[in-house]
Amino acid sequence: MLDLTAETLIPLADAAKIVPPARSGKITYFSTILRWVLRGAKAPDGALVRLEALRVGGRWLTSREAIQRFALRLAPNLDGNDLPAPRTPGQRRRDDERAATELESKGI
């Protein structure tokens, strides 16, 4: 959680300047940072991760430390301890059908 007393707060517009450019060297826009605050981004394990921010007055604020925590939570764990990504509804349906066919062929 963002700590007003221990972290250096910055406006989201400044946070957009801190985040490195995306694909093809395109800059990171304010709207992207706001989307990460409001909706989050998916981590490799399928969990939704939100950028920590506070609304003070009429302004959204975050911190460099919050951006660092956000980036670390989104980064894949390369030491092999990552959980597999959750299956999509289509994958679950196909797996269920496959299991039902196998059980039926064994008379169960």
Q: Where residue 12 falls among pLDDT bands split at 50, 70, 90?
A: very high
Give residue 62's domain range. Answer: 9-83
Within a domain: residue 38? yes
Within a domain: residue 52? yes
pLDDT of residue 9 exceeding 90, the answer is yes
Q: Is there a contact between 2 and 66 (Cβ–Cβ < 8 Å)?
A: yes
Within a domain: residue 89? no
Q: For 29-87, write each residue's pLDDT tens digit.
A: 999 999 999 999 998 878 899 999 999 899 999 999 999 999 999 988 777 665 666 77
Within a domain: residue 23? yes
Q: What is the pTM of this model?
A: 0.70
Within a domain: residue 98? no
State residue 70's pLDDT score: 96
